[in-house]
Chains A and B, each alone.
Chain A
Amino acid sequence: MNIAILECDHLQILLDVLRKRGYQVIGPTLGEGAIVYSDLNSTANLPIGWTDEQDGGTYRLKKRNDKALFGYTVGPHSWKKYLLPSELRLWKIKRNGVSFQIVTENEATRKFAFVGVRSCDIHAISVQDKVFMNGQYIDQHYTSQRKDTFIVAVNCGKAGGTCFCVSMNTGPKATFGFDLAMTEIIEGKNHYFLVETGTELGAEIFREIPHKQANEKEKCAADDILRKTAEQMGRSMDTSNIKDLFYRNHEHPRWNNVAERCLTCANCTMVCPTCFCTTVEDVTDLMSEHAERWRKLDSCFTMDFSYIHGGSVRASTKSRYRHWITHKLATWIDQFGTSGCVGCGRCITWCPVAIDITEEVHAIRESETVIGKQKTIVKEDIHANTGTLSGRTSFFKRP
């Protein structure tokens, strides 16, 4: 892989080249009191010199003491905002005498270039690729949008308070799924990016931008930054045998405990970069001549989600939280061959009552070790009993 140096001042040229090639360039900007993804025509619109502080149920912007362009982690938005829009008209239908005529609008009309995609989010995009492009049926809109998407990854120079990509093996360094990947380096007056090319298209575009070869010292500087980020993870999760952990614990007192806190507000599913559930809505005009079908993001935390005649399958809060976390961490693996969680921490930050996916996993795991210990003790007792009874085993012996 070719590794080069891009001066900070030349990043604007990258944005310009992308725009000239017909891309709608999207990147992190300040807005709504957070760092959100939006059109990015100028590097001046990046959250320069800003960072974020995140913890369970808390998100706060803060000034940095440098002019870093990417000195924060992920905000409430994810790239599914563009790849899986929250509302999409699937088709329009018109009565046509005795029949009807359908006009589809499944083709994506825009080409996106995402700038500043974190490694966890690249994994999230790849998870959704598996959902929408790898099955028996393909999501047309997603696929047509996705195939034209140009990805400029940014490796994380800092971990957030709710990040746990190291546990999920999804970061902090982007290792695949990008056209270009950059690590931002600030050393005194020097402010530059170490850039890797991931695809032929990435290399072609990068050739149009002034750059120089990276030397060993610069490569080491980037490695150092990423090593430090990995050491700073705000959260961690033990993922060993995690699928079976959930399959074993369909009934567990922890589900009642979390149900007492969970508001079923669906925030976690909205901010999650892999949550993909949608519903459809049919609308019609007053004359009933035209109708439309819309696809809208949905959440398994609503009652309607599992409604069948007679009531919801998952009526209790407990069952809905259990469904969500079990899907993320266990059933997803059976369905798509990958975890549905990429360790971005958004669900922890944006939960109004700070329910923490890592804590819930930990609690269930811990309870097992405790119960496990008790079980071993019980087992020993049983063994002790059989010991004392052993003299009587002949009682049950059959000739």
Chain B
Amino acid sequence: MKSIITEPMIPKPFRIHRKLKETHDTYTIELESTNGADGFPFSAGQFNMLYIFGVGEVPISISSDPSMPKMLKHTARSVGTVTKALLNLRRGDILGVRGPFGSHWPVEEAVGNDVVIVAGGIGLAPMRPVLYSFISHRDKYGKIILLYGARTPEDLLYKKELELWRGRFDLEVKVIVDSASGNWRGNVGVVTTLIPRIQFDPLHTVAMICGPEVMMRYTLKELQNCGIKNENIFVSMERNMKCGICLCGHCQFGPKFVCKDGPVFCYDHIKELFGKREI
């Protein structure tokens, strides 16, 4: 293994170029490097550690298009100290970035196959780079299906893009919410109920799941029932992270380090661990 002796614990300053409100508690922030035109190459599914001056640092997935490394985006939900501070920053403010870290979605490996993407809540954020990649190489893949579940219609991310994607003849996009008020005309229920309604070639399908652990568990079962092989199912795991570079021990998931071996795992490699309690 080649060792990286740069300074992976030192955040690099990035400026907030744009801040876009997605929902009442979720924003997408677009970053630009402060030292000119430097791009930020990454792979779909990787994450950065974002540092807010004096407050702290949190892992956030990159949600932009990997083919546009100069436009680095993250979509974050405000849930606690650091994410709140992050989303209180304004255009022009500086934050620190370390990364990109971790494994990526099997974008290349999926070539020639049908693809089923199942996302729950903020789990759509790390999926968006995958969708961008698929769309820009549309002819390389079979069917591309996105199933997306959120709590309420107000919690849906990337609404404009979702509508755009849904309008395409070469993408199948299904959206569902847990509950909705009277003027929602879409699906209501859990995301797994969408699976029986789609068609794909189970032996030649790659599935990618990202969302809360329970949601991933049920989705996985449903996809297995459809006949997708374990080695073609990929999930993204979440653990507490302090370093992102396999030195602090926090992100352990059995023998795996989520920051290095994950966050994206082939289900076949973690099937002994997945779903076990308190591991």
A binding-site residues for B, Cβ under 8 Å: 90-91, 93, 95, 98-100, 102, 104, 106, 131-132, 135-140, 247, 250, 276-280, 282-284, 288, 291, 298, 300, 305-309, 313-316, 318-319, 322-323, 327, 330-331, 334-335
From B2, B9, B53, B249, A284 is in contact (CB under 8 Å) with: B53
Give CA–CA (A319, B279) in the complex, Å: 7
Question: By the criterion CB–CB under 8 Å, are A98 and B15 in contact?
Answer: yes
Interfacial chain A residues near B10, Cβ < 8 Å: 91, 102, 104
Question: By the criterion CB–CB under 8 Å, are B250 and A306 in contact?
Answer: yes
**A137 and B8 in contact (CB under 8 A), knowing A313-B240, A313-B278?**
yes
B binding-site residues for A, Cβ under 8 Å: 1-5, 7-11, 13, 15, 34, 51, 53-57, 79-80, 92, 94, 96, 238-240, 242-243, 245-250, 252, 254-255, 257, 260, 272, 276-279
Give the dominant DSSP class at B's interface. loop
Question: By the criterion CB–CB under 8 Å, are B242 and A280 in contact?
Answer: yes
In the complex, which residue of chain A has the Cβ closest to the Cβ of B4? A137
Interfacial chain A residues near B247, Cβ < 8 Å: 131-132, 135, 137, 139, 276, 278
Question: By the criterion CB–CB under 8 Å, are B56 and A282 in contact?
Answer: yes
Question: By the criterion CB–CB under 8 Å, are A137 and B254 in contact?
Answer: no
**A100 and B238 in contact (CB under 8 A), knowing A137-B8, A277-B250?**
no
**A335 and B242 in contact (CB under 8 A), knowing A138-B4, A300-B249?**
no
Question: By the criterion CB–CB under 8 Å, are A331 and B240 in contact?
Answer: no
Residue of A90, A250, A288, A307 with most partner-chain B CB within 10 A = A250
Give the dominant DSSP class at A's interface. mixed
Question: By the criterion CB–CB under 8 Å, are A335 and B255 in contact?
Answer: yes
Nearest first, the 10 A-B pairs at minimum CB distance are A284-B54, A277-B249, A319-B278, A334-B255, A291-B54, A137-B245, A331-B255, A309-B79, A314-B278, A278-B248
Question: By the criterion CB–CB under 8 Å, are A104 and B278 in contact?
Answer: no
In the complex, which residue of chain B has the Cβ closest to the Cβ of A276? B249
Residue of B5, B245, B247, B276 with most partner-chain A CB within 10 A = B247
Give CA–CA (A139, B6) in the complex, Å: 10
Give CA–CA (A288, B53) in the complex, Å: 8
Interfacial chain A residues near B242, Cβ < 8 Å: 278-280, 298
Question: By the criterion CB–CB under 8 Å, are A137 and B3 in contact?
Answer: yes
- Other than A93-B54, A247-B272, give 18 A-B pairs with Cβ distance below 8 A: A90-B9, A93-B96, A99-B13, A100-B13, A100-B53, A106-B9, A131-B247, A135-B3, A136-B1, A136-B246, A137-B4, A276-B247, A276-B249, A278-B247, A280-B248, A282-B55, A284-B54, A323-B279
- Shortest C-beta distance, B140 to chain A (Å), equals 30
Interfacial chain A residues near B57, Cβ < 8 Å: 280, 282
Interfacial chain B residues near A131, Cβ < 8 Å: 247
13 residue pairs from A and B, CB less than 8 Å apart: A91-B10, A99-B34, A131-B247, A132-B247, A135-B3, A136-B1, A136-B3, A136-B260, A137-B4, A140-B7, A282-B55, A284-B53, A313-B279
Question: By the criterion CB–CB under 8 Å, are B252 and A331 in contact?
Answer: yes
Give CA–CA (A282, B81) in the complex, Å: 12
- Shortest C-beta distance, B270 to chain A (Å), equals 12
Residue of B3, B4, B53 with most partner-chain A CB within 10 A = B53
Residue of A91, A298, A318, A335 with most partner-chain B CB within 10 A = A335
In the complex, which residue of chain B has the Cβ closest to the Cβ of A135? B246
Give CA–CA (A381, B9) in the complex, Å: 61
Interfacial chain B residues near A314, Cβ < 8 Å: 278-279
Question: By the criterion CB–CB under 8 Å, are A307 and B240 in contact?
Answer: yes
Give CA–CA (A135, B252) in the complex, Å: 15
In the complex, which residue of chain A has the Cβ closest to the Cβ of B251? A306
- Shortest C-beta distance, A328 to chain B (Å), equals 12
Give CA–CA (A139, B53) in the complex, Å: 23
Question: By the criterion CB–CB under 8 Å, are A102 and B240 in contact?
Answer: no
- Shortest C-beta distance, B213 to chain A (Å), equals 9
- Shortest C-beta distance, A101 to chain B (Å), equals 8
Interfacial chain A residues near B79, Cβ < 8 Å: 309
**A308 and B239 in contact (CB under 8 A), knowing A91-B10, A102-B11?**
yes
In the complex, which residue of chain B has the Cβ closest to the Cβ of A139? B247
Question: By the criterion CB–CB under 8 Å, are B4 and A136 in contact?
Answer: yes
Give CA–CA (A308, B94) in the complex, Å: 25
- Shortest C-beta distance, A107 to chain B (Å), equals 11
In the complex, which residue of chain A has the Cβ closest to the Cβ of B34? A99
Give CA–CA (A184, B243) in the complex, Å: 43
- Shortest C-beta distance, B241 to chain A (Å), equals 9
